[in-house]
Structure 1
Amino acid sequence: MNVLVPQPIHADGIQVLKDHGLQVIELENDSREEIDKYMETATAILVRTTTLAAEQLERGKELKVIARHGIGLDLIDTKYCEQNGITVCNTPIANVNSVAEHVTGFLLSIAHRIPEAERALRRGNYESRNVLIGKEVKGKTLGLVGFGNIAQSVAKKCALGLDMNVIAYDPYAKEFPEYVEQVKELETIAKQSEFVSVHVPLNDGTKNLIDYHFFQSMQPASYLINAARGGIVNEEALIEAIDTDQIAGAALDCYAEEPMPLDYPLKDYENVILTPHMAAHTEDSMRAMAVGAAEAIVQTIK
């Protein structure tokens, strides 16, 4: 039984597959052409950020399971898989702490203007210390759009660790801890939060969820954080909001187009932090995602 691994994963995940007698095929790249070479004999695919569309999956006559190295399933045609008896699974908690720490790091960095100060100092501007005046997050309000596992971890770190007020909007969440205030309207998050962090999956219902109206409702001194999926935020609306001082800035780990285009408009903005979709990329998280996805494959086909 062959397991395709289109992109590099932690060696411990590969070892789990081999320990159970599975033939692991690590591809040179995750191009459509490379995957098509092996799709017909694949029993399983352990996928990171490779797109798997229906026209590709149709070639997988022996395909039984696709295991996602991470959480989101938006790059996999899950409807086709459901109709054709292909199990799709993910690792829903493996990268929770890593992403939550990244979001918390974003929050502190933009509040204290750390990246701006670091760049200014490298340019020789020591006197930037008298201009780049940040603000403490203690007592400030963090608004969470979505309240899944990662948002819950962010809430705990920020409410209990940083003494912030935390509010959250999620019509599907059933329980909220005592240190998180549930709000009933998305607009309430925009109006009441000094920091807004996005934590919903990308689907037809959430595409461009953070739009012109949302930004117009935000406070002028507030910041947007997105380490979920790029398409959730309308990037044209975000650029306009920053250009017109509707908000103070942003911190982004994901983008509507990935890899980020070389001419991405926000690259030169001092009040915007950009990272290359790496919030889950810690040694701990990468191992947990690889092992978790490999174990899911073993449980499904053995």
Structure 2
Amino acid sequence: MTTTQTDRTTVDVVETDHRVGALRVALRTFVANKLAVGSLVILILIILFCFLGPFVYHTNQTSAQLLLENQPPSPQHILGTSPAGRDELGRLMLGGQSTIELGLAVGLLASTFGLIWGTVSGFVGGFVDSVMMRIVDALLSIPFLFFVILLASIVRPTLWLIILVISGVSWLSTARLVRGETLSLKTRDYVIAAAGFGTPRWRLIARHIVPNVLGVLVVNGTLKVADAILTFAALGYLGLSIPPPATNWGEILAGGVNNIFDGYWWQLWPAAVLIVLTVLAVNVLGDALRDVVEARLSQR
């Protein structure tokens, strides 16, 4: 084996050990946060409840059964029935599927597009930055609820349409946040030195900007997931969500509020508890992931 090959092998081994050490530090940081571990367990249980529950607890969620409307909890219907006679526990599972899918999709889309827009705008600067930020400011000036009501009156709402609409608003604040971080990072000595050696812009962004923005982006992305879940619940509460027989926790909550004075507690509190638990768990997990990313970056 030549000297060059030996040196290259040594470098590969050192880099591998360094990555393993960083992963261990990140895992140790996360496990040390007991509240984060508990939140992760809660999220896993909610996801299992929503996506695996229907395979164990079979219900009819496609057609109304008016003879069974507003039935209290019983062995046949563990959480009672809805005003349309559908099993409430089955509705919570079905509504949780669309709610979780929307939250994750919005968080991913908003974070990805906001990251691209913000890093390009902040790193390029000048006229390009001004134009890109004026576009963001213009879109932020549009009232979200007015836009959703107008859209709902024109087209039939679907899950993917609502995902795109919420994502189209959520990425704006992410882009501004990432731009601010990029403006700070591009003036650091190591970035200026790398640029002086002729490193291409795309490599500077990928190697020095994006990894150092991840901590803020992860926290912001989890907040976007929580915000999207709350927004979806609000749209369902206002009757602007996906039409029946599809449902979501917000729509279930709206039906429970309408019947709250009739004593039908099972139509209100389970959905409210699931929304609160999911949002709180996502927020706590986001804070913990920020600590994990920062701990890993400190090992670079």
TM-score (structure 1 length as normaliser): 0.26
* Bigger RCO (CA 8 Å, 6+ sep): 2
Structure 1 or 2: more strand by fraction: 1
Q: Which has the larger radius of gyration?
A: 2
Structure (1/2) with the larger helix percentage? 2
TM, length-normalised to structure 2: 0.26
